[in-house]
Amino acid sequence: MTAALLGGTPDPDAPRELPSNLHGRITFHAAATAEAAAAYSRLAALYGDAPVEEAAVIVALGGDGAMLETQHRFLGRNLPVYGMNRGSVGFLMNPYREEGLPERLRAAQAALLQPLRMRTNSANGTTAEALAINEVSLLRETRQAAKIRILVDGKVRLPELICDGILVSTPAGSTAYNLSAHGPIIPLGTNLLAMTPISAFRPRRWRGALLPGNASVTFEILEAEKRPVAAVADYTEIRDIRRVEICESTSHRLTMLFDPDQGLPERILAEQFTV
């Protein structure tokens, strides 16, 4: 039995260039907060809110979570997403301004992202798949530390990691949970993934690894009944897993838009000098 969590129809082609006239071609998607809802009302009144079938671009309103939710919801539409910050951190978002939105959209710089595909095998025999733009993370479910065997491209690299969890991050997600877990920041275009332990107990000094972007990662859960583990791809959570396989999704490519000189590569670089 397979739980279908991916949604959408994969389209490997790059998004089309934005038309010169965006009137009636912008779709807005707001987070479920009062601030984002108020912004949606004002922007929709100014520019209209096109059906997604007629849209050339999607504008996400909220924080970074809203950007991820928007990308997942419209996966396969082959539309670029431009975020405006009506949330908290807003690392993936642009500053909020109501005036001149079509001009900002046409001047925006694109960042192409390759998500990760997670496939899980659970204790009840089911399998599930999901995509992750930021990271796939494994987390212990109880007071017991997790025990996890790590394989890369089919070869055992770490027979047993005792920890609170572990994650595999894309470059775009390397400044999020990965950075909080003391993982490395990865510039876009380096074709690398970060594997970062969360509160590693044994081996105590293991800090993780940098992997090629095309690497295939497998996590096997040891003593799974005593030490249950959940797997999370962005905000999709699968509990009581036995095995997780992670690789780059070759059939999906996502596009985020950023104001000039504030593109995602610049933000990732600047984050490394933030104190």
Helices (H), the chain: 34-47, 64-73, 101-107, 177-180, 264-271
Q: Give the CA distances from residue 195 to residues 202, 203, 216, 227, 246, in Å, rounded to whole numbers and listed in that order.
A: 16, 15, 12, 21, 11
The full DSSP string for 169-185 is E-TTTTTTHHHHTTPPP
For the question of residue 64 being annotated catalytic, the response is yes
The single residue of 13, 49, 64, 234 carrying the catalytic annotation is: 64
**Alpha carbons 138 and 230: distance in angstroms, whole number:** 6
Beta strands in 86-134 (DSSP E): 109-113, 116-122, 127-132
Q: Give the CA distances from residue 109 to residues 59, 172, 202, in Å, rounded to whole numbers and listed in that order.
A: 14, 15, 43
Q: Would you tell me how many other CB atoms lie within 10 Å of the CB of residue 11?
A: 15
What 3-state class would DSSP assign to 81? strand
User: Would you say the C-alpha torsion 74, 125, 242, 152 has a positive or negative sign?
Assistant: negative
- Catalytic residue IDs: 64
